[in-house]
Amino acid sequence: MKRLTNIKKILIIDFGSQFTQLIARRVREFGVFSEIVSHTDISNLNHSDLFGIIFSGGPLNVYQNKEIKLNKIIFSLGCPILGICFGHQLISKHYGGKVKSSKIREFGLAKIKKVKNSLLINNFFNKSNFNNVWMSHADHVTKIPKGFKKIASTKDSKYTIIENLKLKRFGVQFHPEVTHTKKGKILLKNFIFNICKAKKNWSSKHQKNTLIQNIKKQVGKEKIICALSGGVDSSVVAQLLNKSVGKQLKCIFVNTGLLRMNEEKQVINTFKKKLKINLIYVNAEKQFLSKLKNISDPEKKRKIIGKLFIKIFEKYAKKIKRVKYLAQGTLYPDLIESKSVTGSKSSKIKSHHNVGGLPKKMKLKLVEPLKLLFKDEVRKLGTELNLSKQIISRHPFPGPGLAIRMPGIITKEKIKILKMADFYFINELKNQNLYKKIWQAYAALLPVKTVGVMGDNRTYEYICLLRAITSTDGMTADYFNFSKNFMQNVSNKIINNIKGINRVVYDVTSKPPSTIELE
């Protein structure tokens, strides 16, 4: 694999974990550059470019020798290595320890107890020497190698943190990179600065300049169209393109008929009138709804929408003439949950529309400048690009829109009801100053009708589901805890104002096990 740059870095060796990119960005959050490489390709490593190395987790078992193609040279480079989950097991096995399938698998939160001090765990445990960490493993280390020390344990896994200070090797069975591990960042910070002695060399400004340079290089003098939705991601992409290849750019905004209330008016107003971006508005409502008629399978919905989007872009590209590139605001979570960026084996969860729906032989070449970034990184980048707070702080909205907030078939009647329910919910959040405290909120319409009673009459109408979550990156999430007063108020507003809904429910699941969207 070609190295992205020769900036000194923390190198992350990917073994296929869902969280590999999260490790990379945690490092970058500390202002230190990081790069991911697949474990199958660690050629051309230059020791002097590395502050340290982190092994990711992954779905493999350390005894699957044929699948693990890691060049053992990595262990002789002399820089510190931190192994996470599978990486922890791999380090243990490499130096002579034992790893076995565990009788009690640990998934989710686990309580961990400190047994020894270590540079890695400065300020990580509470005063009683405990902490809550996020686990996701079936195998565990049953014997540590000679020269290694046990630093912490859980009830079910004895060697949860291990170290060999002389060799500068460290292993943690849990995932310090996910926000649900309390003080996980502190542990990573200890590794990066106290153990690797890394120096700060990365910022949003740096990122902006690098992305602008990359776009200029990729696009050259060719024409490019940008799929604009008015959300944070595509707005940031449009502004990045504007600053790098502005004259060659045309933005296309497609009304799928599955947008939120009044969204098309707002987008046209912001981008055409305020930001003076060259915008083409396409009303494709009829096309989308006709292709989606009677489709209820979530994956089919996503693929139909993705394909139609591309078809429309190709049609407009032809009209504009000699367009070579299509830019879109794909983020890393879109990729990681559709397939892995490094080609490794993280399992597919959903076909996000701007990935899964692309035809194999697409005529336009893709430009996806944000594909290695997470939402909060994109927001910081947006600020760096002088986008308004109103755009930057908008809740994410998926490309397939209301189609995936309406399990079952899609009808005009359902869309109308859902648009109104969402409007009342979001409006109430804004009125109560809650919008900014919540990472994403929306209303969905469930495909079941239930009985109610209104004004002494029996009703038989849809259920409206409300979802509001807190998160930092959309990879993990928790539900937002509303007051009873707020819930009652919203429920009343929705039921009193919208004919077609007679029951409102609130989704209290986190991610995992649920995803943020319903489909």
- Positions marked catalytic: 85, 175, 177
414 binds ligand XMP (CB under 6 A): no
- Tell me the HSE value of 92 on the side-chain side, using a 13 A CA sphere: 28
* Cα–Cα distance, 203 to 33 (Å, whole number): 9
What residue type is 52 in one-letter code? G
- Least distance (Å) between residue 348 CB and ligand XMP: 11
- Least distance (Å) between residue 329 CB and ligand XMP: 7
- Least distance (Å) between residue 138 CB and ligand XMP: 23
**Among the listed residues 301, 303, 352, 414, the single contact to ligand XMP using CB under 6 A:** 352
**With respect to ligand XMP, which residue has the nearer C-beta, 299 or 413?**
299
264 binds ligand XMP (CB under 6 A): no
Q: For 134, which DSSP code?
A: E
What residue type is 334 in one-letter code? D
Q: Which of 296, 293, 261 is nearest to 406 (CA)?
A: 296
Residues 144-168: b if buried by 16+ CB within 10 A, e if exposed? bbeebeebbbbeebbbbbbbbeebb
21 binds ligand XMP (CB under 6 A): no
**Structure token pair of residue 424:** 């009342």
**Among the listed residues 257, 400, 407, 500, the single contact to ligand XMP using CB under 6 A:** 400
Q: Omega before 513 cis (within 30°)?
A: yes
- Least distance (Å) between residue 136 CB and ligand XMP: 16
396 binds ligand XMP (CB under 6 A): yes
Pairing relationship of beta strands 149-154 and 130-143 according to DSSP bridges: unpaired
Residue spans of alpha helices (H) in 47-202 = 86-94, 184-189
256 binds ligand XMP (CB under 6 A): no
398 binds ligand XMP (CB under 6 A): yes
Which residues make beta-bridge pairs with 154?
A: 112
What residue type is 14 in one-letter code? D
517 binds ligand XMP (CB under 6 A): yes
Stretch that binds ligand XMP, among 75-83, 267-275, 396-404, 482-490 (CB under 6 A): 396-404
Which residues make beta-bridge pairs with 283?
A: 255
**With respect to ligand XMP, which residue has the nearer C-beta, 52 or 407?**
407
511 binds ligand XMP (CB under 6 A): yes
**Rounded alpha-carbon distances, angstroms, from residue 101 to 56, 90, 95, 295, 361:** 19, 14, 19, 42, 43
**With respect to ligand XMP, which residue has the nearer C-beta, 131 or 351?**
351
Pick out residues in 280-319 that bind ligand XMP (CB under 6 A).
302
E strand or H helix that includes residue 446: strand 440-454
Residue in this structure with the two tokens 């200890």, named with its chain if needed: 190
350 binds ligand XMP (CB under 6 A): yes
Residues 33-69: b if buried by 16+ CB within 10 A, e if exposed? bbbbbbbbbbeebeeebbbbbbbbbbbbbbeeeeebe
257 binds ligand XMP (CB under 6 A): no
- Least distance (Å) between residue 1 CB and ligand XMP: 27
**Structure token pair of residue 120:** 């890695």
Collect all residues with Cβ–Cβ distance below 8 Å to 135 and sequence separation of at least 6.
106, 107, 108, 109, 110, 154, 157, 173, 174, 175
* Cα–Cα distance, 335 to 369 (Å, whole number): 13
461 binds ligand XMP (CB under 6 A): no
* Cα–Cα distance, 238 to 225 (Å, whole number): 9
337 binds ligand XMP (CB under 6 A): yes
Which residues make beta-bridge pairs with 292?
A: none
Total number of residues that touch ligand XMP (CB under 6 A): 18
**With respect to ligand XMP, which residue has the nearer C-beta, 67 or 368?**
368
235 binds ligand XMP (CB under 6 A): no
**With respect to ligand XMP, which residue has the nearer C-beta, 19 or 51?**
19
**With respect to ligand XMP, which residue has the nearer C-beta, 176 or 329?**
329
**Among the listed residues 29, 177, 334, 473, the single contact to ligand XMP using CB under 6 A:** 334
Stretch that binds ligand XMP, among 65-73, 93-101, 132-140, 398-406 (CB under 6 A): 398-406
What is the distance in angstroms between the CA of the first residue and the CA of the last residue of the chain?
35
Stretch that binds ligand XMP, among 81-89, 333-341, 452-460, 491-499 (CB under 6 A): 333-341
- Least distance (Å) between residue 207 CB and ligand XMP: 20
Stretch that binds ligand XMP, among 71-79, 278-286, 348-356, 445-453 (CB under 6 A): 348-356
**Rounded alpha-carbon distances, angstroms, from residue 235 to 86, 386, 389, 394:** 38, 11, 12, 11
- Least distance (Å) between residue 511 CB and ligand XMP: 5
Stretch that binds ligand XMP, among 22-30, 43-51, 347-355, 430-438 (CB under 6 A): 347-355
Q: Which residues bind ligand XMP (CB under 6 A)?
A: 302, 333-334, 337, 350, 352-354, 396, 398-400, 440, 474, 511, 515-517
